[in-house]
Amino acid sequence: MIADFFFVLFAVMAIGGAISMVLARNPVASLLYLVVAFFALSGTFVLLDAHFIAAVNLIVYAGAIMVLFLFVIMLLNLGRSEKVDLRGPLNRIVAITVAGAFFALLFVALSAGSQTEMAGGMGQATVDAMLQSRGAVGVVADPMFRSYLVPFEITSLLLLAAIVGAIVLARRRAP
């Protein structure tokens, strides 16, 4: 009962935030609406017992990446022009087609009764047992640092390379 109430609350918040984000003319406003959507998404993750994902979603997306975006938009003073790119019949047709195709895909995927396959074939009982024995973080950490340690480390190396590359590009050339 309470879970249903919160699901509806977060769902309305998420969809409302997403729609407001698209409709807002000002980039700062639309970014803040996106943060609302992220926050609501985290709420729905909690309702799905995915506590770790909820926390990481908040920390990484709402807390770090969005603040960075906000910072860049505010520093560069973007969004003074009111022109919208998606004008003209051709653009509209393309946009509607892509959105329609995406929703059709979602509909097919969900109506085929493939929800259990999405969770890796695990039932609710297995997930509950894992949560009981390893805790919300352990369930994610165990496979990440045991089975998939090498891919994990390679990903972090890749990110490090990107950071170093960005610094090299941004650095002023020596006179």
Tell me: does residue 136 bind other proteins (CB under 8 A). Answer: yes
Task: Give, as ranges, the residues between 79 and 118 that touch other proteins (CB under 8 A).
Answer: none
In the chain, the amino acid numbered 166 is A
Distance CA 166, CA 85 (A): 28
| Rg, Å, the chain Cα set | 21
Tokens of 133: 């024995």
Tell me: does residue 55 bind other proteins (CB under 8 A). Answer: yes
Between 10 and 39, whose beta carbon lies closer to other proteins? 39
Sole window of 48-56, 110-118, 122-130, 149-157 interacting with other proteins (rule: CB under 8 A):
48-56
DSSP code of residue 114: -
Among 19, 67, 101, 104, indicate the residue that binds other proteins (CB under 8 A). 67
Nearest to 135 by CA among 59, 53, 54, 52: 52
CB of 96 to other proteins, least distance (A): 29
Sole window of 10-18, 27-35, 107-115, 147-155 interacting with other proteins (rule: CB under 8 A):
27-35
Half-sphere exposure of 133 (CA within 13 A, CB side): 6
Half-sphere exposure of 96 (CA within 13 A, CB side): 7
Tell me: does residue 127 bind other proteins (CB under 8 A). Answer: no
Alpha helices, H only, 60-148: 66-76, 89-111, 115-118, 124-145
Tell me: does residue 54 bind other proteins (CB under 8 A). Answer: yes
Tell me: does residue 75 bind other proteins (CB under 8 A). Answer: yes
Contact set with other proteins (CB under 8 A): 2, 26, 28-29, 32, 35, 39, 42, 51-52, 54-56, 58-59, 62-64, 67-68, 70-71, 74-75, 131-132, 135-137
